[in-house]
A and B are shown apart, each in its own frame.
Chain A
Amino acid sequence: MVNYILLRLLRMIPQMLIISVLAFVIIQLPPGDFLTERINRLKATGLTVDNAEVERLTKMYGLDQPMAAQYIKWITNIITKGDFGYSWTFARDVNEIIGSRMGMTFFISFLAFVVCWSFAIPVGILVAVKQYSVIDYFFTFLGFIGLATPGFLLALVLMYVSFEYFGLKVGGLFSQEMILAPWSWAKFVDFLKHIWLPVIILAIGGTANLIRTLRATMLDELRKQYVTVARAKGLSEFKVLMLYPVRIAINPIVSTFGWLLVWFFSGGTVVEIVLNLDTAGPMLWRALMTQDMYTAGAYIVIVGFLTAIGSLISDLLLAAIDPRVRFGGLEA
């Protein structure tokens, strides 16, 4: 097992390198850089820009060097000092702004994930056991809709519905008066009042997907002979289900751990922008709009890292609950 984990960690290194190169190339794609963008904006407001100052800044950020050199400088700072550079848009170090926002996005994704599993697993089992019943059709129908509706459209519609019919203005992470307040019980309650909507919106697509997967695998398992044997031996129906088919059908669900987080991060980006949350998605958007490459690059690298960790965890979980995977995995 230790060997397996080490092997997987080793494999992550080239993967992370590829991701970082990819991130750097992508954010360097637009012509110009944040400095030219900055200067253009200053010029547009009628300010004169000192050439010497421009040169000094260009030197300072190494913008006159070739891309490869810039990349090496950037990645060495990240690896050795954990320093992601300076954000022009937010006029602060990237580390400072990205930490809390990433944390918030991660927290929302995690909550969505909990909602997803705790709802999808019982419903998935129920739907498979009651195949072709009203419940089955109901959830299948809902599931299809849930899969086809992207989170941000749902957010738009829910925003309208809650405003029109309940007079609620949803959006943001806190109420206006709570934004600057220090953390307290009242602020936490306020936070919960705001956060449930993005959590549910994110969870819906994933839940629909999980229910479908679980239903399909459960149906396959329920047809197998060992279920009949268990019944014939006189086990209660609940035990028959929980002890055997559910244990097998749950495996593919466990392996969703890795990509569900990616899914939430990905779909969450636009949802967060629509709902105007102070999280990583809108930060990325603003950074992209202003060619703030260090912020955008940090986002992609961190998310890539998180997903790599996520898939590692889900593989380990899978190995822990399914011996077949455990032994197969060790050989790989």
Chain B
Amino acid sequence: MSETTAPPLEESKPIQKKKGKAIDTKDEAFYRAGQWQLVWWKFRRHKLARFAMIVLGIFYFCALFAEIITPYDPLHRMKEFAAMPPSNLRLFDTTGKFHGPFVYGIKMARDPVTLRPMYVEDPNSIYPIKLFAKGDEYKLWGLFAWNVHLFGTETGTNSAELTPYFIFGSDSLGRDVFSRIIYGSRISLTVGLIGVFLAFFLGLILGGLAGFFGGVLDEVLMRIIDVLVSLPQIPLWMSLAAALPQDWPQLRLYFFVTIILSIFGWTSLARTVRGKMLSTREEDYVMAAKLDGESEWSIITRYMLPGFASYIIVSLTISIPGMILGETSLSFLGIGLRAPTISWGVMLQDAQSLQSVALLPWLLWPCFFVVLAVLMFNFLGDGMRDAADPYVT
């Protein structure tokens, strides 16, 4: 993927300049384009990264509008439908008649051999799946009360009772796994972003100081980073997370977990920033700025930072997946976030024992989303790494 050496541009569309003069040669467009324009052009050629960006966009979109997209409230316990396997979505009934998407009603029965309770479809009652179905009440972003969900079942044809449509089944308390995954993405996908944001400040400041002033400060910071990098992350995360009091409110716990996750995240960024600081300090344009009598501050912010901003973004993107996995592992072990907070790791806690996994294998669905999210962030990071230095082809 990364070793294609095609010329930087394949589009030869004439690019309209502001004054209305058309530029129609490829080369001219290339030489006139700004740094970020070039970065974008180069990024666009990385197909997987583009794909990853779209998938992640969908993920975050779903997380943002979780209330509307999910068919049920994630805490709604439908006791009569606890531990139900994923619903069978049908288009035709047993006689072959077309109904549009629907699910059959569900009845409780006993397995004739083991006498274990099980769910049986009742072909006499049909519950069509409607778009914009009315269901659990909610408040979108805690502001707008509504009860319309993107899809879901409403009262059926034969009975007044409601049979839910569980895409991924329900957990042992009768909560919809699909809805919980979507709500869980709110936590699981933002832990990485906020953690990266914290790591960004620490890394930028410490790395910048080390790179700019050098000397003893540089040496000390680099040794600290060496030590931090040499330690195994997960056991240290575990030790730190275990120190968080059990009875803290959800929001504070969430915030502190992200802080813990970013404790190691800043090191790689600090190294990148330091390295780039050291190398750009020797550049002619920095020397020129110095000779022009610019202040140190303005040299750093106006000339040096923009020069390696793309590398910072890459370094940040690459550290997101690690944080997502960190949150998942910690919550899975019961020392990160805890119920009633919903995150993918918290959901996987239910799948900890072989017994529950064997009976309710659909509880493993969050695994799929964790892997998918991490995979997409890896692709995105790959594409960005290739695009970070647009002047090298």
Contacts and interface: CB of A to CB of B under 8 A. Distances in A.
Interface of A: 14-15, 18-19, 22-23, 26-27, 29-31, 144-145, 147-150, 152-153, 156-157, 159-160, 163-164, 169, 171, 216, 219, 258, 262-263, 265-267, 269-270, 273-274, 281, 284-285, 288-289, 296, 299-300, 303-304, 307-308, 311
B230 A308 contact: yes
A303 B231 contact: yes
B358 interface: yes
Contacts of A152: 329, 332
Contacts of A22: 227, 231
Contacts of A219: 3
Specify the main secondary structure of chain B where it touches its partner. helix
A262 B231 contact: yes
Nearest to B361: A160
Given A148-B371, A153-B371, A160-B357, 12 more contacts: A15-B227, A18-B223, A26-B236, A31-B245, A144-B378, A148-B372, A149-B374, A266-B232, A269-B238, A270-B332, A281-B235, A285-B333
Interface in B9-32: none
Contacts of A304: 227, 230-231
A270 B329 contact: yes
Contact of B235 (A144, A157, A274, A299): A299
Nearest to B377: A148
B351 interface: yes
A261 B379 CA distance: 26
Interface of B: 2-3, 223-224, 226-227, 230-236, 238-240, 242-243, 245, 321, 325, 328-329, 332-333, 335, 348, 351-352, 354, 357-358, 361, 364, 367, 370-372, 374-375, 378-379
Task: Point out which of B351, B354, B379 has the most chain A C-beta atoms below 10 A from its C-beta.
Answer: B354
B240 A26 contact: yes
A307 B231 contact: yes
Contacts of A281: 235
29 contacts: A15-B226, A15-B227, A19-B227, A26-B243, A30-B242, A144-B375, A145-B371, A145-B375, A148-B372, A149-B374, A152-B332, A153-B370, A156-B367, A163-B354, A164-B358, A216-B3, A262-B230, A265-B235, A266-B233, A269-B235, A269-B238, A270-B333, A285-B333, A288-B238, A288-B242, A299-B235, A300-B231, A307-B230, A311-B230
Contact of B243 (A30, A273, A285): A30
Given A148-B374, A270-B329, A18 B227 contact: yes
A189 B226 CA distance: 41
B354 to A, nearest CB: 6
A23 B231 CA distance: 10
B204 to A, nearest CB: 23
Nearest to B237: A266
B211 to A, nearest CB: 19
B367 A269 contact: no
Given A148-B371, A307-B232, A27 B239 contact: yes
Nearest to B376: A148
A262 B240 contact: no
Nearest to B322: A150
Nearest to A304: B231
Nearest to A219: B3
A147 B378 contact: yes
Given A148-B374, A270-B329, A304-B230, A285 B238 contact: yes
B313 to A, nearest CB: 20
Task: Point out which of A153, A159, A308 has the most chain B C-beta atoms below 10 A from its C-beta.
Answer: A153
Contact of A153 (B321, B333, B367, B379): B367
Contacts of B3: 216, 219
A145 to B, nearest CB: 7
A156 B230 contact: no
A67 B97 CA distance: 76
A27 B232 CA distance: 15
Contacts of A156: 348, 351, 357, 364, 367
B376 to A, nearest CB: 9
A148 B375 contact: yes
A284 B236 CA distance: 10
Nearest to B245: A31
Contacts of A285: 238, 333
Given A153-B371, A266-B233, A160 B378 contact: no
A31 to B, nearest CB: 7
Contact of A159 (B235, B245, B354): B354
Contacts of A296: 239
A303 B239 contact: no
A149 B370 CA distance: 8
A160 B358 contact: yes
A29 B238 contact: no
A164 B358 CA distance: 7
A173 B236 CA distance: 25
Contacts of B321: 148
A138 B272 CA distance: 32
A153 B329 CA distance: 9
B153 to A, nearest CB: 29
Contacts of B329: 150, 152, 270
Nearest to A220: B3
A26 B238 CA distance: 10
B223 A262 contact: no
Contacts of B332: 152, 270
